[in-house]
Structure 1
Amino acid sequence: MPNRPRPPQHMEIPARHRGRRAFAGAGVLLALATALLAGGTAHAAPAAVDRTTERSGADTGPPAAEPRDRTRVTAAVLDLDGTGREPTVYGDDVTYDTASIIKVDILATLLLQAQDAGRHLTAKERAHAEPMIRRSDNAAANALWREIGRAPGLEAANKRLGLTETKGGSGTRWGLTRTTASDQIRLLRAVFATGGTSDASAGGLNKESRTYVRTLMADVASEQAWGVSAAAGSGWALKNGWLQRSTSGLWDVNSVGRIVVDGHRYLVAVLSDGSTSMKDGVALVEGAARAALTSASGQ
């Protein structure tokens, strides 16, 4: 999706950090993301945002434990062609609402359950899975959330996939699942990597399941092709999530996926909350993704 000019934006991005590389890059993330936003390099927000759509199954829970008075963002990056298995995290690796990025996890859980039963997805399951990822369809997510056994089913699958900090939303509230940027990299690794927890012999997704998820994430609707794709060079596959919290009016905006830069495949997760508009949230996520990739790739 081509970049489109946007007006200058100025937003504080807190950049505390973990690990040696994250410590070195946190200041870079802050400076570069701010410069990118001010320079107008981010995509415009999706042309039409239905403010009720992402609320289905999402923002029906109680208020957050404590009010926040500033925007937060965390980015995590893993060079899939490198030797490391843990991502570099820029910002505090704390939990955020997933909004619709949870739909990748819902699909991964469904596929694991089908593998366990020795079967392929049914035509009805595919009819839900494909619009759930490509168009972020909430009715489809509601149906599959029930089918996988809601939060307990999700968490059982995540344990096998190596996620350690993701807690499913209560009842029907899949969009209020809480996760961290590093846990989202673990999920992406289960989809896009080979071996280890992504290998069916280790209890993870088999090759057919991984290919199915990748294919859908590489073919999302054009109006949703924003987010981590802003940092991509020659290719990307992603899932975005956005949610306006009814308790505060502020926006959760997230993006996760695999991008290709200079022939290297990177897994990228950017989570944010507290933006005053969808537009600002998209700009924040894209600026953070670009800055994190600049730091991680040594450009």
Structure 2
Amino acid sequence: MESSSARRGNRARPSGHRRRLLYCALASVAVLGASAAGTVCVKAQAHSGPGTVSSAAPTPSASATGEVSVEPVTQSEAEAESPAAVPVVNRDALLAKAMASVSVPSAARVSVAVLDVDSGRSAVFGSGSFDTASIVKVDILAALLLRAQDAGRHLTAQEKAYATAMIENSDNDSATALWNRVGGAAGLDAANERFGLTGTEGGDGLLWGLTRTTAADQLTLLRQVFGTGSADSRLSETSRAYLQGLMGRIAAGQQWGVSAVADGSAWALKNGWLPRTATGLWDVNSIGRVTSGGHDYLVAVLSDGNATQARGIALVEAAAEAAMTAFGDDA
């Protein structure tokens, strides 16, 4: 039989199990207002066995007697109340950092725009305006296809012959013929307004190669041509497939530029190169779609002020390779 002193001792010193189940906080004023209850006793309701209390954060509810019962909060509820912050990645900053590794001669400039087709992420480096040289031939054919769609007709056999020579072999006479078909600079500008290009202006007279553009605008054009990331491409699926097919059959001697970062032959492109008589320096550009590292990308690289065509090609390819590092899986 337990002595009275022993019973007093047990009451004075609660067991470990009881201590884990019973918590007293002198915070009744905060929880119960100006109640005279004095002491708030909080009972942990959830436990998995003697001496074990749920580690989930409790949610208190006060009874009329001043006793606050605590309901266990599940992990999913806690996560719902405090969602983890999703880091925002500045792709433009990553691209700028990647481009810092590219050696650009003092007289040269380069600008790059990239879209990861799979994720929809994009980035632009450089905002200057550049001569298009022969990359405008993609724009000319896109404008021609748009005009044909408007008229509800297909391209004629002659137009197809011009288009093939202009894109696959970069034939200038064919480009001039189709430039006239679309209405020259005015016709190109009108089509580009519908395509969403805001920084491109057709060259004067027959100087289609001196059309001015930006890398960002060329990326917009590529989105129209490839129907990527835009549900409202002005070009029909048939028109897009036709132009893409020509860009995938570029003559062997012109398979450089953005294709340097492609997995094998997984590319469709158009390059442009033009020596400027006033300076003796070269404009060298490359635009297209490539598959690199298992991802599909739209890439536009523009440059000018190159000492030679070969150096311009090297600069464009180095810029395209650097751009890919800003879109790697671990970037």
Category of TM-score, reference length = shorter chain: 0.7 to 0.9
Cα deviation digits, residues 100-150 of structure 1 (max 9, x gap): 000000000000000000000000000100010000000000000011000
Which of 132, 140, 150 matches 1:98? 132
CA distance 1:72–1:224, change in 2 (3 Å): same
Q: 2:216 pairs with 166, 177, 182, which one?
A: 182
Hey, what does 1:110 align to over in structure 2? Answer: 144
What secondary structure sits across from 1:196 in the alignment?
coil
CA contact 2:223–2:229 (8 Å) conserved in 1:
no
Show CA shifts across 1:162-212 (max 9, x none): 11110000111100000000100000000112573653xxxx000000000
Find the aligned partners of 1:109 and 1:260 in 2 and give their Cα distance.
26
1:22 aligns with 2:92: yes
Q: Does the 8 A contact of 2:247 with 2:270 survive in 1? A: yes
Contact 1:258/1:265 (8 A) holds in 2 = yes
Superposition RMSD on alpha carbons, in Å? 1.8
CA distance in 1, matches of 2:95, 2:129: 20
Unaligned runs of 5+ in 2: 1-88
Q: Which residue of 1 aligns with 2:318?
A: 287
Report the alpha carbon displacement of residue 83 of structure 1 after superposing the two structures with TM. Answer: 3.2
List aligned pairs for 1:119-158, cutoff 5 A.
119-158=153-192
Range with bigger deviation, 189-198 or 158-167: 189-198
Corresponding residue for 1:255?
A: 286
Task: Give the Cα separation in 2 of the matches to 1:197 and 1:156.
Answer: 21
Partner of 1:164: 198
**2:115 aligned counterpart, secondary structure:** strand
Q: 1:89 aligns with which of 109, 124, 137?
A: 124
Distance 1:193 1:114 in 2: 18
CA-CA distance at 1:69 after TM superposition: 5.9
Residues 197 and 138 (structure 1), Cα distance of their counterparts in 2 relative to 1, 3 Å cut? farther
Separation in 1 of the partners of 2:309 and 2:230? 37
Matched with 2:54 is none
Q: Percent identity?
A: 54
Aligned residue among 291, 305, 309 for 1:278:
309
CA contact (8 A) 1:190 1:197 kept: no
- CA–CA distance in structure 2, aligned partners of residues 83 and 287 of structure 1: 23
Q: What is the distance in 2 between the residues matched to 1:193 and 1:30?
A: 31
Q: Which has the larger radius of gyration?
A: 2
Residues 1:211 and 1:231: Cα distance change in structure 2 (over 3 Å) = same
Q: 2:109 aligns with which of 38, 55, 72?
A: 72
Structure 2 CA distance for aligned equivalents of residues 198 and 277 of structure 1: 40
In 1, Cα distance between equivalents of 2:212 and 2:327: 25
Partners of 2:298 and 2:232 lie apart in 1 by: 14
Instruction: List per-residue Cα deviations over 1:227-271 (Å, max 9, x = no partner).
Output: 000011240000000000000000000000000013211000000
1:295: Cα distance to partner? Answer: 1.4
- Quickly say closer, same or farther: Cα 1:277–1:232, change in 2 above 3 A: same
User: Which of these residues, 224, 236, 240, is aligned with residue 206 of structure 1?
Assistant: 236
TM-score by length of 1: 0.77
- Cα deviation, residue 28, structure 1: 1.8
Higher relative contact order, chain-length normalized (CA < 8 Å, sep 6+):
1
Counterpart of 2:69? none
1:223 counterpart = 2:223: no
Give me the whole-angstrom Cα distance separating, in 2, the residues matched to 1:159 and 1:83: 23
Q: For 2:216, what is the secondary structure of its paired residue?
A: helix
Q: Which runs of 5+ in 1 are unaligned?
A: 1-18, 38-67
CA distance in 1, matches of 2:209, 2:165: 16
Q: 1:49: which partner in 2?
A: none
> Where does residue 53 of structure 2 map in the other structure?
none
How many aligned positions are there?
241
Relative to total residues, which structure has the larger strand share, 1 or 2?
2
Whole-angstrom CA distance in 1 between matches of 2:247 and 2:273:
16
- Indicate if the aligned counterparts of 2:223 and 2:230 stay in contact, CA closer than 8 A: no
Classify 1:83/1:288 alpha carbon distance in 2 versus 1 (closer, same or farther; 3 Å): closer
Partner of 2:299: 268
8 Å contact kept, 2:167–2:247: yes
User: Letter of the aligned partner of 1:24 in structure 2?
Assistant: L
* 1:298 Cα deviation after fit: 4.4
Change (3 A) 1:247 1:149: same
